[in-house]
Structure 1
Amino acid sequence: MGEVGVDAQQPRQEIRFCRAPDGVRIAYAVHGSGPPMVVDSCWLSHLQYDWQSPVWRHYLAEWGRSNTVIRFDERGHGLSDRDVTDHSLEARLGDLEAVVADAGYERFALQAMAQGGPVAIAYATRHPERVSRLVFYGSYACGVSDDPEDEQLNDTFDQLIKVGWARPDSAFRRVFTSMMIPRATEEQHVWLDELQRVSTSAETARASRRQRRLADSSALLAGLEVPTLVLHSRGDRMNPFEEARRLTAGIAGARLVALESDNHIVLEDEPAWQVYRAELRDFLEADVPAPREPAPERPQTLEQLSPREVEILRLAAVGMDNDDIAQTLTLSVRTVERHLSNVYAKLDLHGKSARTAAVARLLTRA
């Protein structure tokens, strides 16, 4: 892992890596402080390149002021493994699950950016106990379209990527840039032109776009029972505003905020940016615990653990992973994970080092 900083005024991010269920290595970054917020990745990302972005930088700084932010490069993109062909909804959901498990947070707000919508919906459906708040930004529930004109347009985009994605001349990539941030400066346009080239290969860009267009989580919307905020630019040319209306109508109690912008990525000097900041901050403040009197201190000892928790911890101490423990004790892997989470909570241990610290306490007592 490593740390990357921009300047003294910027927060710092820590780059980490984990493995998806199919073995693909996924890069993720953590920065900021406060209640955790996981950002479900959009189509184009590069954890290090984004960190210095004149298009994205204000988002990263804003999020980190009030939250511990966990964001990641999807498979085939950025610092994650590049030689990947499976960009299906299930594979992308596995990436998100792997990042969350490795980061070690039990409950968090989840913000879906752009094409991350179907994945976030599927995750919140599969793990409702983990998601405290759900935010969609410029996103949608279904990438499938039955409009022949949409298919023709996507075929044209596919050819543009094939012919021009890797060229030094950014003329072909500027088509996508102009759709994402039509009201940007030339500096911002040039940066997004370059992000396309450095974030992934032309082959992966084409494959991932094709498989994203098959992603459909719309049937899951009615089953979501989580506070939900939908933020969307009214003039968005990448994902039309109608997608935000469908999301909001499909989730009970969801609230829609229209951002008065033509940019898919709202820029820092737009009035819409201040609306986004205020709405997101107010929405996420519900996850900030109210001040309370400190509880009397009590020793965090192994005596607090149940016999089953001690048994699982002993197996972890001899090097077994969760799958091995589950097989040995005839339990599900999720049950093992739940027992270990209880161990960490009782011993006041957090983050990636919690397992190591818990085992060390067991061995010290022995």
Structure 2
Amino acid sequence: MTSADPAITPPPRVWRFDDFVLDAGRYELRSGESVIKVEPQVFDVLTQLVSNHERFVTKEELFDSVWGGRFVGEAALTSRIKAARRALGDDGESQRYIRTVRGRGYQFVGRLRVEEPVAAPDPEPEVPRQHIAFTRAADGVRLAYAVSGDGPPLVRAANWMTHLGYDIESPVWRHWVRDMSLRHKFIRYDERGCGLSDWEVDGFTFDDWVTDLESVVEALGLERFPLLGVSQGAAVAVAYAARHPGKVSKLVLCGAYARGRAVRALTEDEKRAAALDLDLARVGWGRDDPAFRQVFAAQFLPDGTRADWAAFDQLQRRTTSPENAVHFLEEFARIDVRDLCTQVQCPTLILHSRDDHRVPMRYGEELAALIPDSRLVALSSNNHLLTGSEPAWRVFCDEVQAFLAAD
């Protein structure tokens, strides 16, 4: 290969040992038919050890490959090694799979069977072109909205952390835009204080968010349409559907809740957890160190890869200011649309990750009990925001398409 030749990345490898499969292509550790849940850094540590099984891997190599050379304490590496051992049913005494080389590093000592690399998967379909335009809310705030795809309209109520100019590239939202635009004219917008909409605003209330949705619908001249709400955007969608029953034909809610964290916090632990959200935003949002923001990534995408977490961190920094992040979280915590839920008149599909770390499943169940003509689908995921690579995303898309296509 000459210096002008492009570098060729080899396909990811799959390693087998005993009943375990370490699949670098799928970013999975499996035992038999079951996927073993491990954090991204634990998976990366294990991959480094297994791929270099013929020798021990120094601590410095692990710091460089897993943490990108960023300074972390030795305790961080020790905890990831313990977690990797725990995932394999190993421990520091037996060391059946991971041997400690005292003072130097670690070596994988299991008996490996290496499979031939699989061919790289087909590239993802391209995200459709979008048209971005602007309108004014009732109080004069400039709102950015985007239209992509063809077909009957599908409107998504705005939710936290979007950026119309960036979402079509970001792994966090790209698959949402792509797949929702396949059969519909998909309409989405950045809420006030976020993305391409005005950041410096006076009004920052729940009613402002509902009014913003009204403004976008009016600007597009929409008569009747299905409405999608994700996370806190679902509460906005519920309020809009209750206030405009003639406008909303069907309602789709994902990762939704009727009560914000402050409203539903009953125990002292729940109240402390709600307050911690605000403290993390106040202290850490604007810092270059991503450690504070990664707390949010771990809650929203606990099963995400290291690349997913990095994309989520980048999304946080791009979409809003530290001051607005605090305003958003304060208002989210006060949301309470329980009374409005009972006024929704259209058929409603509620999808919720069974082990959602950010909004537990019981709050999706509460919505289903409150909204009269609703159906709840439990998704096999831990993620609050579904990733494009997990099986639950395909289930979500199929359920939404079948629901919207039905008479």
Q: Which moved more, 1:145-154 or 1:212-221?
A: 145-154
Q: Secondary structure at the match of 2:388?
A: coil
Deviation at 1:145, TM superposition (A): 2.1
Deviation at 1:156, TM superposition (A): 1.6
Distance 2:381 2:290 in 1: 25
Whether 1:213 and 2:333 are equivalent positions in the alignment is: yes
Whether 1:44 and 2:161 are equivalent positions in the alignment is: yes
| 2:66 alignment partner in structure 1 | none
| 1:291 alignment partner in structure 2 | none
| 2:170 alignment partner in structure 1 | 53
| 2:264 alignment partner in structure 1 | 145
| 2:140 alignment partner in structure 1 | 23
Deviation at 1:58, TM superposition (A): 1.2
Whether 1:62 and 2:179 are equivalent positions in the alignment is: yes
- In structure 2, the gaps of 5 or more residues are 1-123
Distance 2:361 2:275 in 1: 22
| 2:5 alignment partner in structure 1 | none
1:105-158 C-alpha deviation (Å, 9 max, x unpaired): 111100011001221111111111000000101011221224232221122221
Q: Secondary structure at the match of 2:406?
A: helix
| 1:95 alignment partner in structure 2 | 212
Hey, which of these two has a bigger chunk of strand by percent?
Answer: 2
Distance 2:306 2:240 in 1: 37
Q: 1:181 to 1:8 in 2, by over 3 A?
A: closer
Q: Secondary structure at the match of 2:291?
A: coil
Hey, which of these two has a bigger chunk of helix by percent?
Answer: 1
Structure 1 consecutive aligned stretches of length 4 or more whose deviation exceeds 2 Å: 7-10, 148-151
Aligned mate of 1:172, from 283, 292, 300:
292
Deviation at 1:196, TM superposition (A): 0.7
Counterparts of 1:121-200 in structure 2, within 5 Å, are 121-143=238-260, 144-147=263-266, 148-200=268-320
Distance 1:85 1:151 in 2: 27
1:196-215 C-alpha deviation (Å, 9 max, x unpaired): 11111111110111012112
TM-score, normalised via structure 1 length:
0.74
Distance 1:43 1:75 in 2: 10
Deviation at 1:9, TM superposition (A): 2.9
Distance 1:267 1:255 in 2: 23
1:79-113 C-alpha deviation (Å, 9 max, x unpaired): 00001242211111110000111112111100011
Q: 1:251 to 1:8 in 2, by over 3 A?
A: closer
- In structure 1, the gaps of 5 or more residues are 1-6, 288-366
Whether 1:244 and 2:364 are equivalent positions in the alignment is: yes
Deviation at 1:222, TM superposition (A): 1.7
Instruction: Indicate the RMSD between aligned Cα atoms, in angstroms.
Output: 1.4
Deviation at 1:286, TM superposition (A): 3.1
Distance 2:352 2:288 in 1: 32
Aligned mate of 1:110, from 221, 227, 249:
227
Q: Secondary structure at the match of 1:223?
A: coil
AA partner of residue 112 (structure 1) = G
Higher relative CO (CA 8 A, sep ≥ 6), structure 1 or 2? 1
Deviation at 1:228, TM superposition (A): 0.5
The answer to whether the 8 Å contact 1:14/1:31 transfers is yes
1:34-58 C-alpha deviation (Å, 9 max, x unpaired): 1101101221111111110112211
Work out the percentage of aligned pairs sharing the same amino acid: 44
Q: Secondary structure at the match of 1:133?
A: strand
User: How many correspondences in the alignment?
Assistant: 281
Counterparts of 1:216-235 in structure 2, within 5 Å, are 216-235=336-355
Distance 1:54 1:92 in 2: 25
The answer to whether the 8 Å contact 2:126/2:178 transfers is no
TM-score, normalised via structure 2 length:
0.67
Distance 1:157 1:34 in 2: 40
Distance 1:21 1:158 in 2: 29
| 1:320 alignment partner in structure 2 | none
Q: Secondary structure at the match of 1:66?
A: coil
AA partner of residue 244 (structure 1) = G
Q: Secondary structure at the match of 1:172?
A: helix
Distance 1:67 1:246 in 2: 29
Deviation at 1:162, TM superposition (A): 1.3
AA partner of residue 334 (structure 2) = L
Q: Secondary structure at the match of 2:159?
A: coil
Q: Secondary structure at the match of 2:378?
A: strand
| 1:265 alignment partner in structure 2 | 385
Distance 1:16 1:172 in 2: 34
The answer to whether the 8 Å contact 1:89/1:118 transfers is no
Q: Secondary structure at the match of 1:54?
A: coil
Deviation at 1:284, TM superposition (A): 0.8
AA partner of residue 190 (structure 1) = A
The answer to whether the 8 Å contact 1:85/1:204 transfers is no
| 1:309 alignment partner in structure 2 | none
The answer to whether the 8 Å contact 2:277/2:329 transfers is no
Distance 1:55 1:117 in 2: 18
